[in-house]
Chains A and B, each alone.
Chain A
Amino acid sequence: MPRESNVMDQIKRSQVWKSIFRHDIPSDDRGRAQTVLSNIFLHLHPVRTPKSGIRVRYTWCMGGLTFFIFLVETVTGILLMFYYRPTLEFAYTDLIDLGEQVPLGIMREIHRWGAHAMVLSVWLHMLRVFMTGAYKPPREFNWAVGVILLLLTLFLSFTGYLLPWDQLAIWAVTVGTNMARATPFMGSEGPGAAFLKFGDINLVHAGSDARYALLAGRFVGEGTLLRFYVLHCLAVPFIAALLMAVHFWRVRKDGGISGPL
């Protein structure tokens, strides 16, 4: 039976409204489930969560916190990119200006504290998953994805550490990348590298090994700064975001968040 039409009804019947909102305001469980499933942001979260899954004492909320910090790092990082230039001439002075001249100089500090907090929360998340046995079948693959995400988090911290371009950064990265010399087969001083040669010609030497690829040279220089900048702002976050999608997806597909044993 036709209802007296008012403005809201007309809006709700319009093609624009219907193309955006597929469901009415849900009034039953089925409607609520459908609303969640048809929304890209809500569907990341399971439709039903076991009560234990929202117990802070069980999950420590560390996975969610890590994702939240990742979002904070993304937002503050994009804002910093508006001012920072990864060149020998400007990198350090832009950094000083970010603290002293640009409004809200705390932005870079938020980014830095966030980075520390994220490393901590990732470790604690790993500890929680280990202690509750949540890595056990059928969740072994997601544990492996999580380990890669941990390494990516550490690599993000490492690449970000060079960007201030002060003495601390340059020498820390010099020392850190020295480890790449010892990469098996791919590092000039690593095991197996000596076997990769044609006669007298070494295939893996200081000018062709993993460290060289990382530094874009034999020592930390302008090429390194640009390379670490691109890795830090684009490459690693992209891979991490992809793996995070896989990680969250697998949590759902492996039977939801694990319950207390």
Chain B
Amino acid sequence: MSEEGKTDLSSFDQISDRVARAKAKAEAMRAAKAAAGGGAPAAPKPAGPSTERPPAQKAEPVSAAPQAAEPPVSAPEAAPAERKTPPPRRAAPAQAAAAPAAPPAMSTLEKAAATRRQRAAAISRAALETRAAEPAEAALSRRGFFSWLAVAWVAFTAAAAAGGAAMTRFLFPNVLFEPPQVFKAGLPEDYDVGKVDERWKEKFAVWVVRNEQGIYALSTTCTHLGCTPNWLEAENKFKCPCHGSGFYRTGINFEGPAPRPLERYRVVLADDGQILVDKTVKYQQEKGQWDDPESFLKLA
């Protein structure tokens, strides 16, 4: 506990301790392999100073199954790592012996540099030996760490994307509490000739106008900035209260800032003889669409 609490990896004590432990384990494994090869079960004990993590766990399966041709468990991992190891391990004692024997004429700076080199060598050596000797128990390797990191980032990104998609979808309701775009406006006989009918204005935003020839449905949206004009029966015109745009009863603009006539909607007779107003199809006079047969319901 107290040892794990320390984070300072440059501590020499810790590193030499780890090296010693690693060496002890390597010895134990070699002994176990030899025992497995010779068919004689062995119970190797580490000679290292640390007794916290006995490497005997790894030797156990070997001694338990001496007839196995290949040393199980850690062998496949240990083998490739060990291939890399020998040069530094053999070179290590030589270096270690050479370093203290540096000429006494060395300056302080040079000594410091030598110490640094020595320390770096010790660290890399320790890392290599540790990896070679305790593959199953060692901390996550660099490669393993990065592959887990990649998995974690992919998972996080996927979760974030799914969350974002869900939040976006949540903003689009399945059910609307607004009047439908297509509605039946009653029978043609319900409308007086020469009248602008306002009965659907509030609910569907449509004026139904009956003249001698038939019926058309006008949008109640001013073409200037979208206000709703009023029908002034006495003056025979639509007048917008916002900026004073005026429209004839046909919907043609004649005064104020409105740039174009009011729009008309598709209007046809349904099967049951009622007028069907379809606001999803609109007809604009300036585009010549008022000639379309469905923009005007002809009545005899």
A interface vs B, CB < 8 Å?
50-52, 75, 79, 82-83, 97, 101-104, 107, 259-260
Contact = CB atoms under 8 A, between A and B. Distances in A.
Q: Chain B contact residues: over half helix, strand or loop, or mixed?
A: loop
Given A75-B167, A104-B166, A104-B169, A50 B174 contact: no
Given A79-B170, A103-B169, A104-B170, A51 B175 contact: no
A260 B5 contact: yes
Interface in B1-55: 1, 4-7
Given A79-B167, A103-B169, A104-B166, A50 B5 contact: yes
Contacts of A101: 173-175
8 contacts: A79-B167, A79-B170, A82-B170, A102-B170, A102-B174, A102-B175, A103-B174, A104-B169
Contacts of A75: 167
B171 interface: yes
Q: Chain A contact residues: over half helix, strand or loop, or mixed?
A: loop
A82 B1 contact: no
Interface residues of B, number: 14
B172 A103 contact: yes
A97 B176 CA distance: 11
Given A51-B5, A51-B7, A260-B5, A82 B171 contact: yes
A80 to B, nearest CB: 9
A52 B167 CA distance: 37
B5 A83 contact: no
Nearest to A107: B170
Given A83-B173, A102-B173, A103-B173, A51 B166 contact: no
A103 B4 contact: no
A150 to B, nearest CB: 28
A81 to B, nearest CB: 12
Contacts of B1: 260
A79 B169 CA distance: 11
Nearest to A78: B167
A82 B174 CA distance: 14
B47 to A, nearest CB: 29
B91 to A, nearest CB: 29
A102 to B, nearest CB: 6
B81 to A, nearest CB: 26
Nearest to B171: A82
A79 B172 CA distance: 11
Contacts of A83: 173
Contacts of B172: 103
